[in-house]
Chains A and B, each alone.
Chain A
Amino acid sequence: ELKVEQNPLFLSMQEGKNYTIYCNYSTTSDRLYWYRQDPGKSLESLFVLLSNGAVKQEGRLMASLDTKARLSTLHITAAVHDLSATYFCAVDATSGTYKYIFGTGTRLKVLA
């Protein structure tokens, strides 16, 4: 059974600081997705990582994928308050089936 774990679960950080969120998964997969959820809202797609070594960047967020280590990271550079949200990674449970298993989520709070 595929397990997807994120850490930390909660993260409180000061504006301007850098931090990394980790997503570990337990079985082989070459597709990994990052989503953002604002409180009381739905999820929106941030990044799609489709191969080993893939790196995507959007603004202050950068995501990477290491399929050999079964690890993805979401790096936050110079955090701002608007990045406060919950971030989820999701993995294709069996490669190519599009049956996604979500991680536990990381609740990020950026303090002004």
Chain B
Amino acid sequence: NAGVTQTPKFRILKIGQSMTLQCTQDMNHNYMYWYRQDPGMGLKLIYYSVGAGITDKGEVPNGYNVSRSTTEDFPLRLELAAPSQTSVYFCASSYSRGAPNEQFFGPGTRLTVL
């Protein structure tokens, strides 16, 4: 299993540009999450999904959108990038039935908005 994969690893955006951060998991997990981690800080939940077709807001959803058309994929869309969105973005997944529901994290995408 590759686990949770994220692309790209690094990206620099100009203010006002848009982009999609990709996240894929091959563990057949039903729950998926997007977090952002600012330098020296903890993780903030942006959006999460409990299954294909179902998404919900986390703590800091403004400026982002998500979709979940398949179990495996959970892309995060940034519209009109702003410097405040400079951060490291982590995707995670977990399994909600039976198992302890620990989250498995991807390697992260480091985004800089200039």
Interface residues of A (CB under 8 A from B): 31, 33, 35, 41-45, 48, 50, 88, 90, 98-105
Contact with A along B41-77 (1 / 0, CB 8 A): 1111100101000001011000000000000000000
Query: Using a CB-CB cutoff of 8 Å, which residues 5-57 of chain B contact chain A?
Result: 31, 33, 35, 41-45, 48, 50, 56
Contact assessment for B31 and A98 in the assembled complex, using a CB-CB cutoff below 8 Å: yes
Contact residues in B for A50 (Cβ distance below 8 Å): 100
Chain A contacts for B100, CB-based, 8 A: 48, 50
- The answer to whether B102 touches A105 (Cβ under 8 A) is no
Please state if B41 and A105 are interface contacts (CB–CB under 8 Å): yes
Question: Within 8 Å CB of B94, what residues of A?
Answer: 98
Question: Is chain A's binding surface mostly helix, strand, loop or mixed?
Answer: strand
- Cα A44 to Cα B102 in complex, Å, equals 9
Report chain B residues within 8 Å CB of A101: 45, 59
B50 touches A43 (CB 8 A): no
With a cutoff of 8 Å between Cβ atoms, the chain B residues found around residue A35 in the complex are: 103
* Structural contact, B41 and A104, CB atoms closer than 8 A: yes
Number of A-B contacts (CB under 8 A): 52
A99 to B58, CA, bound (A): 8
Nearest 3 A/B pairs, CB to CB = A48-B100, A45-B102, A102-B43
Tell me whether A48 and B102 are in contact (CB under 8 A). yes
Residues in A neighbouring B42, C-beta threshold 8 A: 88, 102-105
Residues of chain A lying within 8 A (CB to CB) of residue B41: 104-105
> How far apart are the CA atoms of A42 and B103 in the complex, in Å?
12
* Complex CA–CA separation, A100 to B35 (angstroms): 10
Q: Are B108 and A48 in contact, CB atoms less than 8 angstroms apart?
A: no
Indicate if the CB atoms of B33 and A100 lie closer than 8 Å: yes
Instruction: Give the residues in chain B near A31, CB-CB below 8 Å.
Output: 101
